[in-house]
Amino acid sequence: MDSNLYQKQQITPTIPFIGLVDCDNFFVSCERVFQPKLKRVPLVILSSNDGCAVSRSNEAKKLGIRMGAPLHEFQEIVREHEVVTLSSNFSLYGDLSNRVMRLLQREYPSVDRYSVDEAFIRFSHRNPLKAKNSAIKTLNTIQQCLGIPISIGIATTKVLTKIACYQAKNNSHYNGICLIGTEPDRLHTLQKTPISKVWGIGRRYSEFLTSRGIHTALDFTEIPQSWVKRHMSILGLRLQMELQGLSNCFHLGEEHEAQKSLLRSRSFGQPVTDKASLAESLAAHATSAGDRLRREGLVASGIGVFIRTSPYAYKPQYSNSLVLSFDDPTDYTPDLIHKATEALTIIYKPNYEYKKTGIFLTGLMPKETATLSLFKTPQEYARQANLMKIFDTLRQRWGKEGCFFAARGVSTSWHPKTSTKTPRYTTNWKELPRAVCQ
């Protein structure tokens, strides 16, 4: 479209344009950064214990491998088409995700991290062409600095940016960037977007709307607001208003609902029978949960522990759980480990082959609002806080394997199965890529 004509037709928002940056097939892309030989090869990243597909290359998608499919369901496709399957390497993915976010934070006044591979950004201007030029620069920068391909959707509301990003990802003629900058842009993009692809429209609502002749996002914007509110509550009405470009109901950087609980669990790579190994796994979960509490500035009032055998094994079955309260709300990892071990001692039964353990923290609250115990001195609270600060600093500097509590142990009998896991190229000195000159 001619730029002068586009300038005349452009939407004039009351707020700057926003965008959604989405890393394409993120886990797959991370692996390809360090293994270029995997480009244009069907590639599937598997979940913990190499169970299900959690990321697929475009080549694997074309073969019919669906998201979340168990490995045994597509083993024949793997053999027939020489599909490469890799175990998840979350250390690598998390580090590259943080690097993407840091690049975005250098360029934009507001970055709202939505997931490990997505972030909403706010442009500093209201001109759509300038916003697109800025997005082009971002796309090229991330590709050049990190080798991660991305797609960017640009619009005036979050829901429209989601749709724009979906189109950018699935239509090559956009070259990775879809801009909804004019009213014709909005109508055209909504017309070719299935209702099932609208952010916030789940499977049940999609089936409900389709059965009533509402097949596209544009169809949804044209039905009466009263009908939407009656059948889909206020959330459905907000979605419609955002699709119409009338209101930005889901604000960038808005406060999220306070978290009330926190879960950490993992299945074992092989059955575990001894109590010591179960205790080690729970200590690892408690350590991870404690890290999260301190990052979020939260404390927990109680901790729950569960253990269970595999429901799919033709062997004696047992599962149990127990919730214990802390004397005072805490984020102190030794307290979490101690209570988890105490609960395990109560519910553990020998002679069972356990397949999974987990912990869940309850009664989460901001640390500054928690009531302190009358039986603990201010000096004791300060000592614990300083110890955790040093602990977190060491783990941030040297990695999770560089500093951990002895209760976690060093055995690997309870670790998840990761038979094809690649090295942690960016977070472990011993696993750095090596270049050999001959």
Q: In what order do the strands lie in the sheet with 53-56?
A: 53-56, 43-46, 84-87
Query: What is the distance between the alpha carbons of residues 18 and 155, in angstroms, rounded to a whole number?
Result: 6
**Whole-model pTM above 0.85?**
no
Query: How much is the pLDDT for 5?
Result: 43
Query: How much is the pLDDT for 412?
Result: 64
Query: What is the distance between the alpha carbons of residues 65 and 56, in angstroms, rounded to a whole number?
Result: 8
Class of domain 193-244: mainly alpha
Which residues, including other chains, have CB under 8 Å from residue 35's CB and lie 6 or more apart? 422
103, 141 contact by CB (below 8 A) = yes
- HSE at residue 108, side-chain half, CA atoms within 13 A, is 28
Query: What is the distance between the alpha carbons of residues 168 and 172, in angstroms, rounded to a whole number?
Result: 7
Neighbours of 222 (CB within 10 A): 11
Residue spans per domain, the chain: 18-179, 193-244, 262-408
The dihedrals phi and psi of 136, each to the nearest 5 degrees, come to -60, -45
Query: How much is the pLDDT for 14?
Result: 55
Question: Among the CATH numbers 1.20.20.10, 3.30.1490.100, 3.50.50.60, 1.10.533.10, which is that of 262-408?
Answer: 3.30.1490.100
- The 3-state secondary structure of the chain reads CCHHHHHHHECCCCCCCEEEEEECCHHHHHHHHHCHHHCCCCEEEECHHHCEEEEECHHHHHCCCCCCCEHHHHHHHHHHHCCEEEECCHHHHHHHHHHHHHHHHHHCCEEEEEECCEEEEECCCCCHHHHHHHHHHHHHHHHHHHCCCEEEEEECCHHHHHHHHHHHHHCHHHCCEEECCEHHHHHHHHHCCEHHHCCCCCHHHHHHHHCCCCCEHHHHHCCCHHHHHHHHHHHHHHHHHHHCCCCCCCCCCCCCCCCCCEEEEEEEEEEECCHHHHHHHHHHHHHHHHHHHHHHCEEEEEEEEEEEECCCCCCCCCEEEEEEEEEEEECCHHHHHHHHHHHHHHHCCCCCCEEEEEEEEECCEEHHHCCCCCCCCHHHHHHHHHHHHHHHHHHHHHCCCCCCCHHHCCCCCCCCCCCCCCCCCCCCHHHCCCCCCC
Tokens 């490469």 belong to residue: 84
Query: What is the distance between the alpha carbons of residues 43 and 53, in angstroms, rounded to a whole number?
Result: 10
249, 238 contact by CB (below 8 A) = yes
Query: What is the distance between the alpha carbons of residues 165 and 154, in angstroms, rounded to a whole number?
Result: 7
304, 360 contact by CB (below 8 A) = yes
Tokens 């409900």 belong to residue: 208
> Comparing C-alpha atoms, which of 220, 337, 204, 354 is closest to residue 283?
337
- HSE at residue 230, side-chain half, CA atoms within 13 A, is 5
403, 254 contact by CB (below 8 A) = no
Per-residue pLDDT in tens (0 to 9) along the chain, 438 residues? 444 444 444 445 556 799 999 999 999 999 999 999 999 999 999 987 778 899 999 999 999 999 999 998 999 999 999 999 999 898 899 899 999 999 999 999 889 988 899 999 999 878 888 999 999 999 999 999 999 999 999 999 999 999 999 999 999 899 999 999 889 999 999 999 999 999 888 889 999 999 999 999 999 999 999 999 999 888 889 899 999 987 776 665 554 455 678 899 888 878 899 999 999 999 999 999 999 999 999 999 999 999 999 887 888 999 999 999 998 999 999 999 999 999 999 999 999 999 999 999 998 999 888 877 777 888 999 999 999 999 999 988 887 878 899 998 876 666 666 678 888 888 777 888 777 777
Query: How much is the pLDDT for 235?
Result: 86
Query: What is the distance between the alpha carbons of residues 391 and 343, in angstroms, rounded to a whole number?
Result: 25
Token reading at 112: 């709202």
Query: How much is the pLDDT for 4?
Result: 47
Query: How much is the pLDDT for 253?
Result: 54
Question: Among the CATH numbers 3.40.640.10, 3.30.70.270, 3.40.50.300, 3.40.50.2020, which is that of 18-179?
Answer: 3.30.70.270
Query: What is the distance between the alpha carbons of residues 68 and 88, in angstroms, rounded to a whole number?
Result: 13
Query: How much is the pLDDT for 417?
Result: 65
> Comparing C-alpha atoms, which of 264, 318, 304, 260 is closest to residue 48?
264
Residue type at 72 in one-letter notation: H
285, 266 contact by CB (below 8 A) = yes
